[in-house]
């Protein structure tokens, strides 16, 4: 019996070492190919959506009105009625002669059925799955997921943000209830950069080069709000977040479903607090994944000691990704405030420099703070005592949550 246990333990240790080696070598190989990708400053008109009902109404209507092409990229497409309605709309447009390309993440959209795939391809929709893991570095590539959510319609209208396609995003999943998220609709110059990003991801996935590029890049007028897109592939996002924090003079607002910052970002938040910047962090009270809440506790404990305030959203589930720096910059996109977004996921964020739009975003965020409760240091200490074992596990696997 002891011999069997010995061999089982030895095999587990060897497997863990092999996984660690795979991840380490895969990471080094990946970083060699990455560049800091930052799009130019553009001028766009922006609309903010904070509920699935308002977003899906606008998005589905704009897809319905598309006449030339529809480019859609989501991390998650579920197998439910909302998703089937979405698929049926794409099929209808394709059958009308509109070119439809649908790009999904291989892991995130694992619930898509073979029947849905057949229906899409039968109607002429071009469907592809990004970031399929392969050799070498299988374990590393399994964690490198395309988390971007981008829609471009006729090269003139773009969408980016935190929503995916499924009933939970409409608040119809009783497990989560009301779903809070932030998504942007853009017209104007910035749409060209969303188109560029989609076509790049499409080429990286399918190796197909899209011809007649003038069709996909029509002349676009300047909008009211100055914007810039930041695209990251498991690298450079940490530097971008650090840069944002350093700019703060009075206030930082962070909203995220997960809070697992890197040590560098944590130290920069501490530095900001020491220079009297007011920092508030909004997180969900209920988690949507195991261990994510426990992974945040060591950070909330340490940062609360320097005066950073943490709040838990109680109306439903909080999935928004937002950073507001004073009244001069707001970041809304796909990246969470965690190590997975920093070091593994492919993300895209929109920096907004227009004061009026920033104030509109902050108004919604302040409403979300009202429907939240403060996470006191006493409660943090209680959670730390109650969840000691889970915190240790969460800390150990924090890169993969």
Q: Does the pLDDT value for residue 394 go beyond 90?
A: no
Comparing 194-198, 240-244, 321-325, 384-388, which segment has the lowest mean pLDDT? 384-388
What pLDDT is attached to residue 8? 83
Question: Of the candidates 283, 267, 262, 189, which has an alpha carbon nearest to the alpha carbon of residue 229?
Answer: 189
- Residue 4, domain extent: 1-33
List of residues 6+ apart from 305 with CB closer than 8 A: 377
Confidence of residue 1 (pLDDT cuts 50, 70, 90): confident
State the chain's maximal CA–CA distance in angstroms. 75
Describe the crossing of helices 114-122 and 81-95 by its angle, rounded to 10 degrees: 20
Tell me: pLDDT of 2 over 90: no
User: Which amino acids are annotated catalytic?
Assistant: 147, 149, 154, 319, 321, 326
What's the mean pLDDT in 226-237?
96
Q: Does 354 share its domain with 387? A: yes
Pairing, β 42-49 against β 225-233: antiparallel
For residue 158, give Cα distances in angstroms to 85, 180, 375: 20, 21, 37
Whether residue 199 sits in one domain with residue 64:
yes
Residues 390 and 300 in one domain: yes
Cα-Cα-Cα-Cα dihedral sign, residues 221, 227, 228, 233: negative
Taking 80 as the threshold, does the pLDDT of residue 347 lie above it? Answer: yes
Distance of alpha carbon 236 from alpha carbon 58, whole angstroms? 32
Dump pLDDT digits (tens) for 61-117. Answer: 999 999 999 999 999 999 999 999 999 999 999 999 999 999 999 999 999 999 999
Q: Taking the CA atoms of 327, 369, 264 and 32 in sequence, report the sign of the dihedral they define.
A: negative
Residues 388 and 275 in one domain: yes
Contacts of 167 (CB under 8 A, 6+ apart): 78, 80, 81, 82, 83, 173
Work out the average pLDDT over 122-133.
96
* CATH number, domain with residue 55: 3.30.870.10
CA–CA–CA angle 383, 388, 393 (5° rounding) = 120
Instruction: Please state, as a whole number, how many other Cβ atoms lie within 10 Å of the Cβ of residue 301.
Output: 16
Confidence at 10, pLDDT banded by 50, 70, 90 = confident
pLDDT at residue 354 tops 90: yes
Which token pair is 35? 């560049």
Residue 388: which pLDDT band, with cuts at 50, 70 and 90?
Answer: confident
Domain count, the chain: 3
Question: Are 279 and 375 in the same domain?
Answer: yes
The model's confidence at residue 351, banded by pLDDT at 50, 70 and 90, is very high
Looking at the structure, tell me whether residues 151 and 164 fall in a common domain.
Answer: yes
In terms of domains, do 313 and 289 share one?
yes
Pair 248, 336 in one domain = yes
Q: Confirm if 334 and 347 have CB atoms less than 8 A apart.
A: yes
**Is the domain of 54 the same as that of 91?**
yes
- Tens digit of pLDDT for each residue in 131-190? 999 999 999 999 999 999 999 999 999 999 999 999 999 999 999 999 999 999 999 999
11: burial class by Cβ within 10 Å (0-12, 13-18, 19+)? exposed
pLDDT of residue 72: 98
Please say which residue of 199, 227, 255 terminates a domain: 227
Q: Are residues 82 and 123 in the same domain?
A: yes
Mean pLDDT, rounded, of the chain: 95
* pTM flag (> 0.85): yes
| Whether 369 and 348 share a structural domain | yes
The burial of 263, by beta-carbon neighbours within 10 Å (0-12 exposed, 13-18 middle, 19 or more buried), is given as exposed
Cα separation, 380 vs 342, whole angstroms: 25
Q: Are 109 and 208 within one domain?
A: yes
Query: What number of helices (H) and strands (E) belong to the chain?
Result: 14, 18
């Amino acid at each position: 019996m002891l011999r069997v246990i010995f061999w089982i333990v030895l095999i587990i240790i060897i497997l863990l070492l092999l996984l660690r080696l795979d991840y380490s070598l895969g990471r080094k190989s990946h970083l060699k190919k990455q560049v800091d990708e930052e799009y130019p400053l553009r001028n766009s008109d922006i609309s903010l959506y904070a509920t699935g009902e308002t977003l899906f109404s606008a998005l589905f209507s704009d897809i319905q009105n598309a006449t030339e092409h529809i480019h859609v990229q989501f991390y998650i497409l579920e197998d439910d009625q909302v998703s089937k309605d979405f698929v049926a709309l794409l099929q209808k447009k394709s059958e009308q002669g509109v070119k439809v390309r649908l790009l999904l993440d291989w892991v995130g959209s694992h619930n898509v059925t073979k029947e849905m795939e057949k229906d899409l391809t039968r109607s002429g929709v071009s469907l592809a799955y990004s970031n399929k893991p392969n050799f070498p570095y299988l374990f590393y590539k399994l964690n490198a997921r395309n988390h971007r959510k981008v829609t471009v319609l006729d090269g003139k209208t773009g969408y980016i943000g935190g929503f995916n396609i499924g009933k939970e995003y409409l608040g119809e999943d009783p497990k989560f209830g009301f779903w809070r998220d932030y998504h942007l609709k853009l017209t104007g110059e910035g749409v060209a950069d969303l188109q560029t990003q989609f076509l790049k991801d499409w080429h990286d996935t399918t190796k197909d080069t899209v011809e007649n590029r003038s069709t996909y890049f029509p002349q676009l007028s300047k909008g009211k709000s100055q914007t810039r897109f930041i695209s990251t592939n498991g690298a450079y996002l940490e530097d971008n977040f650090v840069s944002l924090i350093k700019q703060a003079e009075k206030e930082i607002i962070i909203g995220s479903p997960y809070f697992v910052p890197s040590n560098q970002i944590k130290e920069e938040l501490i530095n900001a607090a020491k220079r009297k910047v007011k920092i508030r962090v909004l997180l969900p009270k209920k988690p949507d994944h195991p261990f994510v809440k426990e992974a945040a506790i060591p950070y909330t404990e340490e940062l609360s000691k320097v005066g950073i305030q943490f709040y838990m959203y109680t109306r439903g589930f909080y999935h928004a990704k937002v950073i507001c720096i004073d009244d001069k910059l707001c970041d809304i996109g796909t990246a969470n405030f965690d190590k997975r977004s920093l070091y593994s996921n492919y993300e895209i964020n929109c920096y907004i420099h227009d004061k009026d739009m920033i104030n509109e975003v902050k108004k919604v965020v302040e409403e979300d703070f009202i429907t939240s409760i403060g996470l006191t240091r006493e409660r943090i200490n209680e959670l730390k005592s109650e969840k000691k074992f889970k915190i240790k596990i969460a800390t150990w696997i924090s890169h993969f949550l």
